[in-house]
Chain A
Amino acid sequence: MKALQIIEAAYRGTLEEQDDTIIWLTHSMRDTGADLSVLLTGNAVNYVLKGQDASGLEFGRWTQVNPPNLERELENLIAKDVPVYVMRDEIDRRGLGEAFTIEGIKLLNWEDLPKLLDAHDHIWHW
């Protein structure tokens, strides 16, 4: 079985969860042998930008010492042979251009989306 994780809801609880919950879920299932791909669309395309810094959260005497690091999590997913796609059109619409530099991210055109969907048995749109 092969499943595609389409992540559209971005930065949803990432500071409190120290991760994107669906990227984390993908890691967790991949670690048990699941065959998964990831497609970033909507605001989640911002995840592919390098150099994001979520540190500095403080409340009173409490300081976050282990903030989310989406760049690292995506790089680790790719290292685990999980293909990570991003919608080119969504990148362009936000003016991000080719600014992202996480190695191994695959740009996807709209016309290639049906082929990608067809290559998976399950489509999970988050």
Chain B
Amino acid sequence: MSEKKTLTFAIMDPPFESARSTTFFRLLEIAAGRGFNLNVFAYEGGVHLSFAKQKAHGNGVHGTNVETEHHPLPKIWVSEIMTKAQESGGSVNWVNCGLCADERGIDEVVEGVRRGSPADFWKLAQASDNSLVIATR
């Protein structure tokens, strides 16, 4: 086993619904900063995380406009983590479940995200030092 670890994550939760997606991104970012090679299998609602058409908005309740609200968009987090991994000597191999994306109309994703299938998850986990499933509840 090489010094550089390879980790595989599976995530089922969509953004904006629970704290699990944020926690998932925090774990990814730490691993990316350590130069690990990271695999992500986004399953079911998790395919929304990299959806390219996510849009920021203002918030009338908060009295903010689109700039001052600075609404978080997980698609940006995906790209930032990919960049950080690359700068740290690692990589992110992000696979969206293709059927999950189709049934949800997720037809545009950020650069670096590709379509795949459950077979990819199996192969990625097999080739990893460890794997972590972040299941939905």
Contacts and interface: CB of A to CB of B under 8 A. Distances in A.
Interface string B102-126: 0000000000000000000000000
B17 interface: yes
Given A13-B19, A28-B60, A59-B77, A18 B72 contact: yes
Given A16-B72, A59-B81, A31 B17 contact: no
Interface residues of A, number: 22
A52 B29 CA distance: 24
A66 B22 CA distance: 16
Interface in A1-39: 11-19, 24, 27-28, 31
Interface string A45-77: 000000000000111111011100000000000
Interface stretch (B1-9, B38-46, B62-70, B93-101): B62-70
A13 B45 CA distance: 14
A12 B19 contact: yes
A69 B136 CA distance: 26
A58 B76 CA distance: 11
Interface of B: 15-19, 21-22, 25, 29, 59-62, 64, 68-72, 74, 76-77, 79-81, 83-84
Interface of A: 11-19, 24, 27-28, 31, 57-62, 64-66
